[in-house]
Structure 1
Amino acid sequence: MKEIIGLFAQYLSQYFKTRFAYRADFLGEMVSNLVSELINLVFILVVFQHVPFLNEWNRDEIIFIYGFFLVPYALFSMFFSFWDFNERYIIKGEMDRILTRPLHNLAQVCLESIAPDRIFGVITGLIIMGYAAVRLKLDFAWYDLPIFIGLVLSSALIYGGVYTAIAAISFFSDSRTGIAPMIYNIQNYGRYPVDVYNKLIRFVLTWILPFAFVGVYPAAYLLGKKTLYGYAMLTPLMGIVFFGIGLAIWNWGVNKYQGAGS
């Protein structure tokens, strides 16, 4: 772990050196990411102009969930940028280079794909949560901060586990995109209360692709939704379990990987 942290610092230094070589492009990308999240927020605001409640959840509660949803996703995106994994590491054969080095292969892939600019997603999410919290007049105890941090990190682990498993499918397929785009669309359901969906979708979002644990369930604790406290407290366990599953599938895929060939 000490070695990984040291390499992380070096990769971070090189990242900013390369990005600030083209500062306008770097700033433009940050603004683009911010505008994208604000458009999603505007969509929620417009919808709730006509539908003030969604199955007993009001507009500000939905906005709070959306803000929370952005925070772990931003942390995940910083370290697990697997969007081009198939093409870069499998089709172009860069996985062969990764496997010749002593550091764990997953850590190397994460470090090479690191995207520190995604941290602005954390800031955006916190601002949105703050806005909704003021509107809802929420009161927080001193222990809510460490609980919030724990829930965020656990949610990021869930993201990491799911997408690590999805990326590992590439070891058995030469598809350029795989099923990651479909999973990305499914994850967006986690930013809405799961009780608005039917039982099958609720089951999938809770136990199969647990994106309810990256949005509505942990946010429900901070919103004081006592009926969902049990699910909220399960978030750390779900993070450990699903990251462990993702890592196991990854290691299995690496063991089955036979190289890019000629």
Structure 2
Amino acid sequence: MRYASLFWEYIKNYAKTRLTYRADFWIEVLSDLLFQGMNLIFILIVFQHTPSLGGWSEAEVVFVYGFFMIPYGVFSTFFSIWNFSERYIVKGEMDRVLTRPAHSLYQVLLENVDPPSLIGSFVGAIIMVLCWFQLDLPFQLLDVLVMLLLILGAVLIYAGLYTALSAISFYSDAPTGIVPLMYNIQNYGRYPVNIYNKMIRFVLTWLLPFAFVGVIPASYFLEKKADDLSQLALLTPVMGIIVFSLGLFLWNHGVKRYRGAGS
């Protein structure tokens, strides 16, 4: 209950700040929508030159992209810690966080909460619904529960990987350059993994499992039998728990090594 109360207080403070700078809020929402729109346009342009991509139709790839947007939006809302190294390690704000009687990661996440990113999740859901009807996919009430479970697993994968990436700041003075690399790698997860060579497929599936945040869970609803993707989909929550546990372990271990901001 104490952590739930903290969450509510942080959200209220965020709302007060945004009400003061409303234009910034809508500019951020618009920029996110434009960015996601450009990615979608790129996919549509690709299919102007080819009828399929690795055996996947245009509607199927757009469906995967729609799913990809949902967990990414949730993750960006509650795990927006892209600037952790610069703000909390270099500028020394981690010292302030560690003086408070709440888990350090929880505090950092709440201080950087970004609700406008949820707009991307809603847009992704709309894209999925449109493609669902276009592909004439069967629908059962169980699909809603499975969808929520797969989205949760995908969010945990994102959270675990970027928590681990942020935790590197406790061990290294300059980990910032890894963030753009990881960001670029994650985008491969929104495309069918069978279009890549075996090495990249292995990395995206088992080492940096970004395939589990897009194409693999989405394939469950598309019933793609090629490469057993639809069977791997149900492993998404398990993969999420494993990855997030590893990320949290690295964070907790890194906090123990932290000795305060330097001069």
TM-score clears 0.5: yes
Structure 2 CA distance, aligned partners of 1:120 and 1:165? 26
After superposition, the C-alpha distances for 1:127-164 in whole angstroms (9 at most, x for unaligned) are 11112112111121110001000100110000000000
1:65 shift after superposition? 0.3
Structure 2 CA distance, aligned partners of 1:222 and 1:6? 37
Residue 148 of structure 2 corresponds to 149
1:251 shift after superposition? 0.8
Residue 52 of structure 1 corresponds to 51
Residue 238 of structure 2 corresponds to 237
Structure 2 CA distance, aligned partners of 1:176 and 1:145? 39
Between the two proteins, the alignment pairs up a number of residues equal to 261
The letter for the 1-side match of 2:205 is T
Residue 125 of structure 2 corresponds to 126
1:178 shift after superposition? 3.5
After superposition, the C-alpha distances for 1:53-101 in whole angstroms (9 at most, x for unaligned) are 0111010000000000010011111111111101000000000111111
Alignment of 1:110-125 (within 5 A): 110-125=109-124
Over aligned residues, Cα RMSD in angstroms? 1.0
Structure 1 SS opposite 2:141: coil
The more displaced of 51-60 and 129-138 is 129-138
Structure 2 SS opposite 1:143: helix
Aligned residues of 1:12 and 1:116 also touching (Cα < 8 A) = no
Structure 1 CA distance, aligned partners of 2:239 and 2:139? 24
Residue 11 of structure 1 corresponds to 10
Residue 206 of structure 1 corresponds to 205
Structure 2 CA distance, aligned partners of 1:4 and 1:58? 45
1:25 shift after superposition? 1.8
Structure 1 CA distance, aligned partners of 2:33 and 2:246? 32
TM-score, scaled relative to structure 2:
0.97
1:119 shift after superposition? 0.9
Structure 2 CA distance, aligned partners of 1:89 and 1:63? 38
Structure 2 SS opposite 1:82: coil
TM-score, scaled relative to structure 1:
0.97
Residue 219 of structure 1 corresponds to 218
1:176 shift after superposition? 6.6
Structure 1: runs of 5 or more not aligned = none
Residue 67 of structure 1 corresponds to 66
The letter for the 2-side match of 1:102 is P
Aligned residues of 2:78 and 2:114 also touching (Cα < 8 A) = yes
1:261 shift after superposition? 2.8
The more displaced of 161-170 and 131-140 is 131-140
The more displaced of 18-27 and 54-63 is 18-27
1:177 shift after superposition? 1.8
Matched, 1:194 2:205: no
Aligned residues of 1:170 and 1:178 also touching (Cα < 8 A) = no
Structure 2: runs of 5 or more not aligned = none
After superposition, the C-alpha distances for 1:226-262 in whole angstroms (9 at most, x for unaligned) are 4323210100100000000000011111111111033
After superposition, the C-alpha distances for 1:165-191 in whole angstroms (9 at most, x for unaligned) are 000000112227241110000000000
Structure 1 CA distance, aligned partners of 2:231 and 2:129? 24
Aligned residues of 2:168 and 2:175 also touching (Cα < 8 A) = no
Structure 1 CA distance, aligned partners of 2:21 and 2:107? 25
Structure 1 segments, 4+ long, off by >4 Å, are none
Structure 1 SS opposite 2:21: helix
Residue 96 of structure 1 corresponds to 95
Structure 1 CA distance, aligned partners of 2:167 and 2:248? 9
Structure 2 SS opposite 1:57: coil
The letter for the 2-side match of 1:171 is F
